A = this chain, B = another copy of it.
Amino acid sequence: MEGKKFVVTPWEVKGKIDYDKLIKKFGVEAIDDKLLKRIQNHTGELHHFLRRKIFFAHRDLNWILDEYEKGNKFFLYTGRAPSGKNHIGHLVPWMFTKWLQDKFDVELWFQFPDEEKFLFKENLSLEDTERYTYDNALDVIALGFKPEKTKFLIDTKNAGLMYKEALKVAKRITFSTVKAAFGFTNEQNIGAIFYTAMQAVPSFLPSVIKNKKIPCLIPHAIDQDPHFRISRDVIPKIGFYKPASIQCRFLPGLGGMLEEGKMSASEKQTAIYVTDDETTVTKKINKYAFSGGQATVEEHRKIGGNPDVDISYQWLTFFEEDDRKLENIYNDYKSGKLLTGELKTILIEKLNKFLKEHQKKREKAKKVYDKFLIK
């Protein structure tokens, strides 16, 4: 698939993504071993998303650590534009955000820009996005965030707090700029054109509220970078720190990494939802997970499988924390010792265990949802 085009924008991800090219194209920096070491000095251990370069790039993370070392703590900002149920790919940046919150003992501002998908999808109503906001929020809470350190910003609900701040950003962004960054045409609606200003707000709102400049670190999937590229230019001009960020790769869809850029919640056969039951997960993986194995058992034993394109293996790089176990699986699959069916079973067990636990916590989350809201 060399040379094949791929697309990564906040509204569309497709094709086989070349992350090295993205680093150059977006102008982010690769996370190198020196930076990993510096993080480890504070965290004691490294999250497997860092060890495996699933979080692979950043902007100004060294500055965030400089400030932290001077005693100037940052806060975290991430989010979810509600347009459907969450799939397990959505959890990736949030699991990492939770780890950062615990290790650095910092606040998280979690944005639900419930207007975004309404503005970009013809058939989605604000009633839909309100419903999904609540549904999606349960998964965030289920990951263990504490209400004392975590605030939910829901754009339409908290517009009283956010709109005024968004205006300060919006005044400094022209249509030319959003046109170039997002590929808008003159037929784009004026709400969608304005939207990026709302996405900028959480990166400095805590500084407004506490009336002092606080550094902000945004963990996010790489497709959101164009928003922050724009807002990083503007935010210092209105008197706040340029937000830093750390970017992750996409969890690929079940269909494989060659065709789909990331798991899509709207394509049911390629996604595992956080509420899928054991049977559904088992069926989906057995039926749809793209395999790097050979056509017959005999051939597989002889030639071995290819874990680098095998979705079950790729997903285990996200969900199996133990490096030793993962390495054994890699080697066994490559040598042909481990069959595709067996590899799928390992993933199925891992995921079902995780989801069973998650679904329990998700139920409990309903009781504490209100505690995360800004009144």
Contacts and interface: CB of A to CB of B under 8 A. Distances in A.
Contacts of A172: 189
Interface of A: 115, 118-119, 126, 155-164, 166-168, 170-176, 178-179, 184-194, 196-197
A194 B155 CA distance: 16
Contacts of A170: 119, 189-192, 194
A187 B194 CA distance: 14
22 contacts: A115-B164, A115-B167, A118-B171, A119-B170, A155-B163, A156-B163, A156-B164, A156-B167, A159-B160, A160-B160, A167-B191, A170-B190, A172-B189, A174-B190, A175-B186, A175-B189, A175-B190, A176-B187, A190-B193, A190-B197, A193-B194, A194-B194
A118 B168 CA distance: 9
Contacts of A189: 170-175
**Copies of the chain in the assembly:** 2
Given A159-B162, A160-B157, A160-B158, A126 B190 contact: no
A175 B190 CA distance: 6
A126 to B, nearest CB: 6
A174 B196 contact: no
B179 A190 contact: no
A238 to B, nearest CB: 10
